Amino acid sequence: MGKQLSRELTSQHLAFVENYMIHFSARRAAKEAGYAQEGYAYELLRKPKIKEEIEKRTQAASDARIGLKDRVIDELTSIAFATLSDVGRFGPSGLEVNDHDQIPDSTKRAIQEFTVKVDKDNFTQKVRFHNKVQALEILGKHLGMFKEQEVNVNIKPYIIRRRNGEEVELGVKEETSEEE
């Protein structure tokens, strides 16, 4: 079979788990791990140690996705709420930029471009942030803040009935209602 790594988990078992985690097909994973019997794949999935290893790896992958999602939200938040006052202050000659270590890390991540231009008579600094409105929009959508309201319009014919029993349609009567 395979080299024994623990009491029940062999190198072949680990190969099965690794292949299973790639495409989630037990038969294919068993074949790629070198198992000859085609029906053995589902028995492997029921082995407690293999099941435990798959659950551990699935949880680790899930945690990694959650961590990545949190990082993306942190980056968007940095961009959305960065201000020039975090970078420096305005003085008589324009923006006086703080020392690098005085600028918060979140603000540093929000800066797209920092340019220093030195001419014969002038010294100018330019700070350009990533798109703040776009970051706010993405965050707002993520939080469900921008849901469109549905408006239902019921159109019913406006009919009058004459004394002789004849019905005459005069037009339409609109009834509107807003749903939240």
Rounded Cα distance between 102 and 86, Å, is 9
In the prediction, which pLDDT does 116 show? Answer: 80
Locate CATH 1.10.10.1400 in the chain.
Answer: 11-69
> Terminus-to-terminus CA distance in the chain, angstroms?
63
List the beta bridge partners of residue 91. 94
Residues 1-20 have a mean pLDDT of: 77
Mean pLDDT score across all residues of the chain: 82
The share of the chain scoring above pLDDT 90, in percent, equals: 29
Q: For residues 66 and 175, which has the higher predicted lDDT (pLDDT)?
A: 66
Going through 59-166 in order, the beta strands assigned E by DSSP cover: 88-91, 94-97, 111-118, 123-129, 150-161
Write down the pLDDT at residue 28.
92
| Residue 126 in this model has a pLDDT that exceeds 90 | no
Q: Is it true that domain 11-69 has CATH number 1.10.10.1400?
A: yes
pLDDT tens digits, one per residue of 98-116: 888 898 888 988 999 888 8
Q: pLDDT per residue over 36-80, tens digit each?
A: 887 888 899 999 999 999 999 999 988 888 888 888 999 999 999
Confidence of residue 180 (pLDDT cuts 50, 70, 90): very low
Give dist(CA 180, CA 177) in Å, integer.
10
Quick one: which of 67, 57, 48 has its CA closest to 6? 48
